[in-house]
Every structure is written in C-alpha cells, then in structure tokens.
Amino acid sequence: MICATTLQLKMLLIPVWASMLLGLLVGFVPVVGMEPTEGAKSDFDHTPNAEPLPSSSGSNCSQLTLKLEFSSKVVEHEYIIAFTGYFSAKARSLYISSALRNSGDRALEWHIVPRQNPASDFPSDFELVHIRQASPSSLLTLEDHPYIKRVTPQRKVFRMLKYVPSPEPAAPCNATRQSWQSSRPFRRTSLSLGSGFWHATGRHSSRRLLRAIPRHVAQILQADVLWQMGHTGSGVKVAVFDTGLSEKHPHFKNVKERTNWTNEKTLDDGLGHGTFVAGVIASMRECQGFAPDSELHIFRVFTNNQVSYTSWFLDAFNYAILKKIDVLNLSIGGPDFMDHPFVDKVWELTANRVIMVSAIGNDGPLYGTLNNPADQMDVIGVGGIDFEDNIARFSSRGMTTWELPGGYGRVKPDIVTYGSGVRGSGLKEGCRSLSGTSVASPVVAGAVTLLVSTVLNRELVNPASMKQALIASARRLPGVNMFEQGHGKLDLIRAYQILNSYKPQASLSPSYIDLTECPYMWPYCSQPIYYGGMPTIVNVTILNGMGVTGRIVDKPIWQPYLPQNGDHIDVAVSYSPVLWPWAGYLAVSISVAKKAASWEGVAQGHVMVTVASPAENDSEAGGELTSTVKLPIKVKIVATPPRCKRVLWDQYHNLRYPPGYFPRDNLRMKNDPLDWNGDHIHTNFRDMYQHLRSMGYFVEVLGAPITCFDASQYGTLLMVDSEEEYFPEEITKLRRDIDNGLSLIIFSDWYNTSVMRKVKFYDENTRQWWMPDTGGANVPALNDLISVWGMAFSDGLYEGDFTLADHDMYYASGCSIARFPEDGIVIAKNLKDQGLEVLKQETAVVEGVPILGLYQTPSDGGGRIALYGDSNCIDDSHRQKDCFWMLDALLQYTSYSMTPPSISLSHSRVAPPTGTERPLPQRLEGNHLYRYSKVLEPHLGDPKPRPLPACPHLSWAKPQPLNETAPSNLWKHQKLLSVDLDKVAVPNVRAYRPQVRPLSPGESGAWDIPGGIMPGRYNQEVGQTIPVFAFLGAMVVLSFFVVQLTKSKSKPKRRKPRIKRPTYLQQQQTMIGKTPGV
C-alpha cells in the first residue's frame, strides 16, 4: 500500500516538474508579446536646438502626446521660378537670363541659389533665384517667358515638435507588460482579447468590459493575417519625409537609401520623430511595423532646428518621382493650402502614381483645422483615434475651408486609425509610445504598403484605387460625424479583400447624401430645408480609379423618386471639367420646390454621373473606360419658418489665412497668431450654431454679396469678425433693408494701426517683416457700413473680466463703441487697456468703456441694430467664457423687438458716446488687403472697389422622374462596383505575427539569439519554433520520469528486517535462491 501511494505521488509530480521545466525552457526563448526584462528604452538626443523627449522611470508606461506646430514665413529676396517642364540646369539659367534681360532693369542684381542635393544631377522644373530689389515689373517679365509658369516667394517652414505628458493619469502596466496610453483614464479589468476586438466599437454601451490592448498596432489591425499568407511588404518602395534615420539602427533591415535635403551635413535623426515614423511602417523587431520587408527610402527634409524650406521639399519630391516611390508618408502639415509650388508638386507626385499619406493635423477638437496636404483630394488624409475607438481630442476636424465663401467644404479626414499611445522605434534602439496624427499617418502608410504587396497586378494600384479600397472598407464609428471620422476606422482585412477583387471604376466621397441621418451627416442633418432658404451645398469628391485623368460624360442626371416625393426638391450640379489627378469635385445644390412651401415630409432621388478615362490599353473598346455611379439623396422638408426665426450668417465678408496675414482675434494667444479656421458656423463657430438651433432658430449662410439675398425672408443678419471691405451697392442695400424691417447684429474685434505694426512678424534669419492686413476685424469698413445711423467702433483695445446680468463675462482683445445714437441703449464696463500693454508694456484700467449698444431705427417698421465689440465669447477658437445667453437676448431684441430688462435696466447703462473725444480709426497706410480681397482692386497705389459681381445663378437640372420606391437606408457597407468580398476569402489562420528578432548580445543584452537566426536577418518562421522547443522539452522531462518509473518497477520489493533464523533454515533458503540483504 505504501508503494502504491509513493507511485501515485510520483505520477502527480510529473506534470508539476514538466511545467516548471517548460517554463524554464521557454524563458530562454523570446515569446510573442513579451518585452525585454529591463524594458524598451526611449533615447533622445539632447541637441541644442531640439526639444528632448522627457525621461520617465518606466518608458513602457510613459504617457506622451506629440504636438506639432507649424508656421511659415516668406524669405526675403528669394523666389521659386516654376517652369512648364523639366529642363537642365544650363537651360533653366538661360531662360531666366533671357527673361530678366527683357525687363530693361540694368541695375537688377540676381543669382541662382545653388542646391546641393541628390536631385541636382537631374533635370528640374523649378529654380531658386535670389533677386535683390525685385520690382513688380521684373517679376511680371519673368512670368511672361513662355517656359516659365509661375514666380512665387520662397517660404521657410518651422515645425515645433513638443512631447508633453498627457493631462490624464497614465494607466499602469499590467502583468504581461503590455502598455497602452490613452487620452483619457483607462481601467483594466480583463486581459482577455478576442479576435473581434479590432473591429469592435463599444462607444454607446453603458457597461462594457475594458480590455488590455496589445502593444503592437500592426497586430491590433490584424496584419498578422496577411503575414501568415506570405505578404510582408516585399517589393514596395516607401518613402518617409521627416527628420532622417540613423545608419545602423537595429530595427530596420531594408533601408535602401538615405538622402539629406537640408543644409546640415548629416543623414542621422537628431530628434527621433523620423525614426519613430519609419518604425511604425517597417520595423522588423520589438515594436513591429506593418511591412518589414518593404524598401525604405529616408528623406531628411527637416533640420535639428526643425526648419525646412519649400525648395527642399520640391527637390525631394522630384527625386521621389525619379526613384518611382510607391508610397510616401508625410507626417507634417500646415494651414497654408495656397503655397502653390508645394501644392502643385503634390499633384504631380500623385499623378505619377505615388500614394501619399499625410496627417490631418493636431489642432482638434476645433473644427475647420485641417492641415495641408492632407486636405487635398488626391491625398489620403488620416485622423487619430484611441484604443477605445474614440476620436482623439487632438485630431483635427473638417471641413476643408479653401472652398469658402462661395462653396462648401469637403469631407475630411478620409479615414481614422490608432494615433494615441502607439508604439514605435526609439531614436537609437528600443521602443516608445507617442500620440498624434503624425503617428496615425504612418499606421495607414504601413498598412497601405502592406496592401500594395498583396496585389498581383500592380497596375491596378494607384492613389485613387487605394483610397477607394480604404474608405469602402472602413468601419464606421457610432455617434461620430463625418467631419471627425471621415469614412470610419481603418479595416485592413476588408481593404485587402476589396483590392484583390478590384476593377477600375469611379466612386464618390461621400457615397450618398442623407440630410436625415444624424449624427454622421452633421451638420447637414442638423437643420431641415424649406422653400425660400439658401440652397444646401454638398461638395462631393469624385475618385477616378480608372486613370490619372478623366471627364464627366454629358451632364449628371437628376432622377427624383415620385413615390418618395422627389419632385418636391430641385437639384443643381456643378463639377470639375477635368478630373485630375485621380479626382475632381461634384457640387450638389439642393433647394425646395415652390409647391412644397407649406409641405412637410421626406423627399428622395438620386444623381447619376458617368465618368470616362482614356484606356491605357488602346485595344479596349473605344480606347476609353467608363464608369457610372449613383449618388442617392434624401432630405427632410418643413414648411417655411416665420421670418423672426430665420438668421442669416454673413460668410462673404470673412477672410482667413491663407493667403494673407489675418491675425487672431485674441492677442493673448501668441502661439497661434493666425486666423485660419474659416470663421464659419460649421467650423470655429460650431457651438454657437448648435446653440441657435437648440433655441429654435434656422441659420443660413450667405456666401455672396449683401445684394444677393431677399431681406424680407430674414429677421436678423448676423455679422461676426468681418475682415472684408464692402461694395458701395452693399452699403446702400443694407440701409434700405433695415428701413424695411431687417435687423442687424455685429460682433466686432480689435483694430489699431499701432498695435498692427507692433504684432508684425520679424524673422531674424531672413530680415523679413510680415505685416497684418487688418486687425481682428476691419473696423474702418464696418464703420462705413453703419455710419448712416450715427454709429462707429473705436480703435481702443481692451480686455478684462466683468459681470453682466448675473453672467460672468470675459472681454478678449475687443474694441469699444465710439459713437452711438443718443436714444440708444449702451452698456459700459471697466476694462484693462490692452493696447497700452502691447505698445508700452504698461497696465492701466479704463473706466466706463462702452462695449454693447442696442438701437431701434426710427423708420416705420424699421429693424433694430445691436453692436458688441468682441467676438471671442462666441468663437470656439480660444473662448474662455461663452456669451450665448447674450446672443439669445440680442436675437429676442432684433427678431421680436423685446428689449431684455437685464440690459435696459442694468446699472452699467451709460449715456451713448458722441465720438468727439478721439478720431475714428483709419485704414493702415500701405496695407495689402487688395491682394486678397474680393472687393478691392489696385488702382494707382490707392485701391478702389471692383465692379459688383453678379449674384450666383444656379442652373437647375431637368428632372427625369422614376416611378419606383427608393431605398429606406442609404448607408450600408459601401460596396464598390464589381467587388464581391465573398470571392476573396481570408484563410482561417490562427492569430500569428512574424517573430520579432531580439537584439543581439552587446546591443541591449535583453535576449539571446535563437539558433539559426542570423543577426540582421528577418525570419518569418521563428515564431513557429517556440512551440517545437516547448514540445521537445516536455518530451525530455516526460522521458526522464518514465525511465525512472520503469527502473523502480524492475526492482524487487523491499522487506522488513527479520529475526535471524536457525542455520538449517538459512541453508534451505540458499538452496532456493539468493535474497538481497536488507
């Protein structure tokens, strides 16, 4: 019995010892998902001009957000001369010499600025020329040369990389050392990770299981599925335009070329940003990239001072075209979408089949903050989300603003992906986590590189087809509008399926218009349409996967569904005459037919568009490819609201950067000096718009002169932060409209010529002054508009906190009311003289500054006017305390003639100012507003108004009604034509990713190299060797115990000691057989 118990105990110990030995064996082998014992390092060179990455005790748990700020300045005396084609250096010099000789200016000094970079040996389409004292006539003479396309100033670009700790507490690292950084607190309650995580969106669930996230973004997006199929980016050339890369960085095995385009004599990365970006795309170990076998081409275009020039980018772009780059990542951007040489070169890049991926910007959550070139139609613009599928707070929001004021912005970003807490390569070795859209961009660039390598027929892959595949396969995030998420979250596997069954075709972005679908279709869904309202404009992007150039055949066709009341709406369509490169626009204007003036309901129809492109193979029928796409339209119509509920927003007189220097309305914001968000109700005045809609007002946008609207339809005209001048005809019409019952509310801003001269930029390197063209608002122009009623704003500049009607208020760089009718209501407050502080650095408080005025015009049935000297309290850009309550009170006054008692009976009410104390502000002498104005034109040194333009006239499409039922749900997973996802099956493979090669001894000392793996080599089969080693180890342990067990069974049983027997008994036992002694 004792022996049986002992044997059972041994059998029970076998699995225990086997487990222990297996753990020891596996401990010597790098396991997928584990880190080195000492953690990954985050080295950062402390160069004098670079901001170092803050150190932390646990780099794997560091919570850092990467903030990028951009600015650009004109370089004095340097000009980029763009040619009509590519010419040798000698030919370019001859053309410039010939053109300047014809200028007749004998004293003109000029020379070609040498550019020492790899592209200097090849023909180029531009030249950088230094021209001292260049006159306008000499520049015009240059542009008159038949081979010179354009002359533009050279621009100097500043990029500020700032690594800042996240304001939220970091999540602790868990037992498996998987780290995740979020833009909000995150609690881990489970380490379970199902295969469905990568497409899960748990945004609206009130209770959800929070899961720990794998640290490799490539694994999260299921790149391991494509790796298992043998796709690792092989044969794809990917370019990284950034801060460079060290030559012997251990994470990369296939760096094909490193080039330097800066004026620094180094190819290495002194900041770490370029290394991180390259690692996300193609790192082969530790922090695994998407395409480790791709060919990396490193373009160093930023110095350690974080400075670049437009000419550096132009040369580097030309070189990328020569090298036939397939994918190009540009984790940079800025608001200057009118840097023509840069924008033109991006078009040329994509026209040469380079798929450009660019970050959308880190200026969120403000709307209208898209960066260029990500806002271009031919570029894949990428926004950021966190690992809980929330839009990252820092991610810039749409819409695009360069179509304003006459049109409407397009949907951007195109797609979103993980950009918060993503791990990438450190400066010298190891990994670190960063956040920002410059992190999300290489995630998409790496995914695109991997996708390109999966397509057998590479001719099918181009910037349009790749974008079509990405947006058609994207998974929409619930509760997020299209200007935040674009088409949704990157879905790598679905994109693979689409690409591998793709046939060249055209598609639309967005693919449908549904003004009833909220919140995705915000802001269109936020307000129904009605008869007599301004047409709703939807700017749709046409993507042409058939070729780099195309056209729309005949005209788009409008087909209303009669059973769904489609004949109650009118549709007008304008479009690009030529689709190039790979894209164009389709502007759809929707209005309500007269017969539906008192009708309420839903109307549907669709627009049919046929796109044609030249066939690359002329043997195809007609030598042309065609594709017909359908744009479904669904709108909600209501009866025309009463006049008092309708507010008209003046967009036509708002100007923004670019192209001119229009300063911020709040001078305290020194790090953000430009007014570049569009000043639109759907960008930086979004919160105000939402508030007005919640109060029952209907807000429309005027994108044309004041002469182009019927004032009898509106209760109030709202002018906010106007920088534009006014046509004389506009001033006359507005006076007549107000006499007939239209009311006016004006929110002004500061304007002081002395302060404008003070806040001009001075570049120490280029000795170039950059003078603002107006103040926060164009006060002299506003004064011309309201002078007939005895009103005017001053050039005073004030700020401060105060209380009005029991509401806390903040006056941020506003002006005061200088003149007001004596029978009006004026509110004054004690404020600080900010102008004195800016000019003389002195502080003074001014008592009784008039800031708010209300006035009823004397004419019978006349309208009312309200003036306020600061717009920052309704502007989302830098608002500290909102004054929406005051806007409500002013609209009650202007729309219903109800004077708010809190204002009329206020203790702050004072006698209206007469304006005799100081002269009214005058326009800045020598300003260049005429260069950017829609109203002014140059005239003998004294700009004058242009002729009044004609009002926009829409040509309504002739309907072709359909007597059939429209679909009820316009959005599905958008399937491209001829694409059947079922035909491209993804193999049912186990979760797998290539094993990352550990650092060799002497590099980090963290892991040993498994046998058979050569240093610097990438072995896809390494991951499969781990279970083999484990199995062999278990077999050895099991064999050992089996042998021991066998030996124990072959031995006789031991006996207890006995009493010595008599001799005769011993002799008898000896004859039987010998027994072992005890």
Which residues are annotated as catalytic?
242, 273, 438
Q: Smallest Cα–Cα separation from 415: which of 448, 368, 455?
A: 448
Straight-line distance from the first to the last Cα atom of the chain, in angstroms, rounded to the nearest whole number = 20
Number of Cα atoms under 13 Å in the Cβ half of residue 430: 20
Pairing of the two strands 716-720 and 743-747: parallel
Do 633 and 957 form a contact (C-beta atoms < 8 A)? no
Query: 99: which 2 tokens?
Result: 């053109």
Q: How many other CB atoms are there within 10 angstroms of residue 953's CB atom?
A: 7
Q: Give the DSSP H or E segment for 537.
A: strand 536-544
Q: Is the peptide bond before 581 cis (omega within 30 degrees of 0)?
A: yes
Do 529 and 592 form a contact (C-beta atoms < 8 A)? yes
Query: 837: which 2 tokens?
Result: 């502080």
> Rounded CA gap, 446 and 1043, in Å?
53
- What type of residue is 646? R
- What type of residue is 205? S
Q: Smallest Cα–Cα separation from 278: which of 424, 428, 66, 432?
A: 424
Q: What is the DSSP letter of 529?
A: B
DSSP codes, 39-58: ---------TTSPPPPP-S-
> Rounded CA gap, 448 and 463, in Å?
10
Q: Phi and psi dihedrals of 180, rounded to 5?
A: -150, 135
Pairing of the two strands 148-165 and 64-87: antiparallel
SS3 864: strand
SS3 970: coil
Neighbour-count burial of 371, counting CB atoms closer than 10 A to its CB (0-12 exposed, 13-18 middle, 19+ buried): buried
> Rounded CA gap, 219 and 198, in Å?
9
> Rounded CA gap, 421 and 434, in Å?
5
Neighbour-count burial of 300, counting CB atoms closer than 10 A to its CB (0-12 exposed, 13-18 middle, 19+ buried): buried
Pairing of the two strands 624-637 and 646-650: unpaired
Do 266 and 326 form a contact (C-beta atoms < 8 A)? no
> Rounded CA gap, 181 and 97, in Å?
57
> Rounded CA gap, 978 and 659, in Å?
43
Do 231 and 262 form a contact (C-beta atoms < 8 A)? no
> Rounded CA gap, 22 and 97, in Å?
79
> Rounded CA gap, 500 and 985, in Å?
10
Residue 1071 CA, chain-centre distance (Å), reads 100
> Rounded CA gap, 967 and 125, in Å?
51
> Rounded CA gap, 869 and 751, in Å?
10
Q: How many other CB atoms are there within 10 angstroms of residue 770's CB atom?
A: 15
Query: 832: which 2 tokens?
Result: 């600080």
> Rounded CA gap, 1018 and 996, in Å?
8
Q: What is the DSSP letter of 660?
A: S
Do 684 and 877 form a contact (C-beta atoms < 8 A)? yes
Strand order in the sheet with 536-544: 506-509, 536-544, 583-592, 569-575
Q: Give the DSSP H or E segment for 884.
A: helix 884-896
